[in-house]
Amino acid sequence: MGAAAYVGRVGGLAVALGVGSAVFAGHGVAAADDTDSSGSRSSSSATTGGSESTGSERTRRNERTTGERTSSTTDADQDGGADAELDIELPVDDTADEADEIVSDEPEARPERRRAAEATTSESTVTPPEKTRRTVDADVAATTPADDQTTEESADDPAVAPKEPTKVAVFASATELAEASTARFSPDLTETDLSTPDEQTETRRPSLVTAVVNVVHSMLDWARQRADADPASSPQPPFLWALMSFARRELENLFATRSTLSAVDKEARTTTTSLAPAAEDPSDAAVWVPPYSPWLNPQVSRSTNFVSWVTGKYVYSDRRMANTVARYGVYGTDVGVMWDNGMKDDPDTPYNESQVLIAVGDTFSGPNMQGGWRYNTLFRSADRVLSDGIDIPNGEWKNGNMFGGAPLSGEFYARPIINRPYWLPNSVTLIPTAGISVETPDTEFGVTQYVSFMSVSRWGSAGRWTTNYSAIAYSTDNGENFTIAPQSVRYNSIFSGNRNFQQSAFVKGDDGYVYMYGTPNGRQGAAYLARVAPEDILNASKYEYFKKESRGWFGTSPARWTSSSSSASAIIGKDGGACGATKPGNSVSEMSVQYNEYLGKYIVLYGDQFNNIVMRTSDTPEGQWSDVTVLMGQQSGGIYAPMLHPWSPSTNGTGSELYWNLSLWSDYNIMLMRTDLDKL
């Protein structure tokens, strides 16, 4: 690249640093999408549709491990409505009005939540409700600023000191700017529009303007966090020193993104000709950058990269990927547990019965976690080519087909799969944490789907929530309808080992058992192990629990299986003695387990106490589990819930690639990630 380009970048960074210093000193910076009061952009991005306008507002909170402030915010009218620094027109999200018209058919009372940033008008400030939602422990949790947003510190989080609402003008996020140059979501897209590539789908490398804006936005957010640190945190370095250090890291990411990717990645990606620019010689094609990447550099580590979005408003016009707003009324959701439905395709039918089922958690039809809310829902996919994302087919409405993209309650509205029955305690929500299929010859399709879920009774501070029970629901019609088994319920009690199995992960052993890994509610626990015969999976009294070898004054007790859940040993996490908490992988949250043919070992993915996504391996389901390998560190926006894809090449022994779902807090949606096991 020419010297002029580098000079331009340095100049851009200089401007960014100057702007950052000015803002930090208290001087406003005009947002990129400043408009006057008659502009086309609304001053409030949060709307409530249908019956959602009454009662407590459902919101989520975006928190950090250090208990620092929750988000960056934008005020387009600050300092007298100064002119925009960047002459860029940001796309207007016109999906909110239509999405909010969809009202959930769920009669249950809806949970109360706190959004990452409450949208307000310039005349008023929305007071957050008292209850909160599960949060992500992210050091830097980037959010996309709305036109007018006010940030208010969490009043009920003991880790955050109460502060007055503040308004700070910042640049538009890189995500918004990137979307401006790619295909935009439209609820009116037809099937032809979605299946035919056009010029808008050509993917470009991030522009220099986008990159510099992203650097500035990240620097400002980070600098305010460090300057506004919790009183209990250690002294911070001088502001300019810290700002320069952070800027250097961001520029390294910028150069890495705009440079050529590795030969392996390039070869894999240029095979997707519909997304990569055409060229007579593939080596001459521009390096393909995944569309809508939430981070400036989609290659988040040497081994791992972002592939595509699984849910959300994003449109990949040549595939049935994402665009779940128009097709299913799903603007935001999380978790994304995946498993093989255990069926074989019948070539005489017009659809593919062999599918991966994807169970997701709290689901909203509108932005800012508003609109129609559901406890959970489910998606289906028969896509085995994962290098460019997960294809989810359109829904099948009132035609008897149980292999469409999702169970529906309307032509374009996914419905909840698990609701609370009258005989179980009230819940804030019911979130799937694991899924598995088991052959059952006497059923319609010869297989039964099982989903383990947790019943959340209260959301607490970052990474802490309370459950009143966990249970298993089953379906014999490919996830179309589920029934909760009463004998599977595990009430959360300090007097029972069931407290350690409130969240789960399933894997089939080579000995005929189904193994279930469990963790307590929240993100501070370790993982425990139980096993059961497949025919008894719904009966909690039939499980056996693994107790590790122990040594005492009277000799050594060998490892064994016991019928007492209270005797189960922690087999993953909470090790290393007093210094264990300083090591990656010490706490286990939202885990996923598989047998990996490529490695010839069982593998587990989970989030740890530092919000890293880590992997361990073992020759047997119970261990000894290996030391931690960090696949990716914490990222802007907050990451959680790594869920393995059962059809990854490495899982099936056909390659080294491992694919897995990952939830991003700031976008509140699920994305597909790829890890090359040869690069670990």
DSSP 462-503: TT-EEEEEEEEEEESSTTSS-EE-GGG-EE--TTSGGGGGSE
Phi and psi for 324 in degrees, rounded to 5?
-75, -10
Q: Report the percentage of the chain scoring pLDDT > 90.
A: 53
Residue 456: exposure state from Cβ atoms within 10 A (0-12, 13-18, ≥19): buried
Question: For residue 381, what are the contacts with CB-CB under 8 A and spacing of at least 6?
Answer: 355, 356, 358, 390, 391, 392, 393, 405
> In this predicted structure, what is the pLDDT of residue 552?
76
Q: How far apart are CA 447 and CA 559, in angstroms?
A: 34
3-class DSSP state of 31:
coil
Point out the residues of the chain with pLDDT beneath 50: 2-3, 5-7, 9-10, 19, 21-132, 138-206, 224-237, 253, 256-287
pLDDT at 523: 94
Q: In Å, how far are 51, 147, 369, 564 from 48, measured between CA atoms?
A: 8, 17, 10, 48
Token pair for 599: 């490695």
The answer to whether 326 and 317 have CB atoms below 8 angstroms apart is no
Report the C-alpha gap between 226 and 457 in whole angstroms: 33
**Angle between helix 239-258 and 3-24 (nearest 10):** 140
- CA angle at residue 316 from 314 to 318, to 5 degrees? 160
- Do residues 120 and 149 make contact, with C-beta atoms less than 8 angstroms apart? yes
624 upstream amide cis, omega within 30 of 0: yes
| Residue in 72, 144, 142, 151 with CA at minimum distance from that of residue 114 | 151
Strand 555-557 and strand 550-552: the pairing is antiparallel
Q: What digits encode the pLDDT tens for the residues 254-285?
A: 554 444 344 434 444 333 333 433 333 434 33
CA-to-CA dists, residue 252 to 21, 25, 449, 504, angstroms: 21, 26, 46, 39
So what's the pLDDT on residue 77?
41
pLDDT value, residue 417 = 98
pLDDT of residue 461: 87
Structural domains of the chain, ranges and CATH numbers in brackets: 309-676 (2.115.10.20)
Nearest residue to 201 via CA among 176, 184, 177: 184
* Torsion angles phi and psi, residue 183, rounded to 5: -60, 135
Helix 208-227 to helix 239-258 angle, to the nearest 10 degrees? 150
Is 242 in a helix, a strand, or coil? Answer: helix
In the chain, what is the greatest distance between 2 CA atoms, to the nearest angstrom? 82
Query: Model confidence over 427-459: pLDDT tens digits?
Result: 999 999 999 999 999 999 999 999 999 999 999
Q: What is the reported pLDDT for 423?
A: 97
**The three-state (H, E, C) secondary structure of 39-96, written as one string:** CCCCCCCCCCCHHHHCCCCCCCCCCCCCCCCCCCCCECCHHHHCCCCCCCCCCCCCCH
Residues in the chain: 680
* CB 490 within 8 Å of CB 498: yes
Task: Find, among 608, 519, 634, the residue nearest to 138 by Cα.
Answer: 634
DSSP E strands, 289-375? 304-309, 315-316, 321-322, 337-340, 356-360, 363-366, 370-374
Tokens of residue 269, six digits = 């990606």
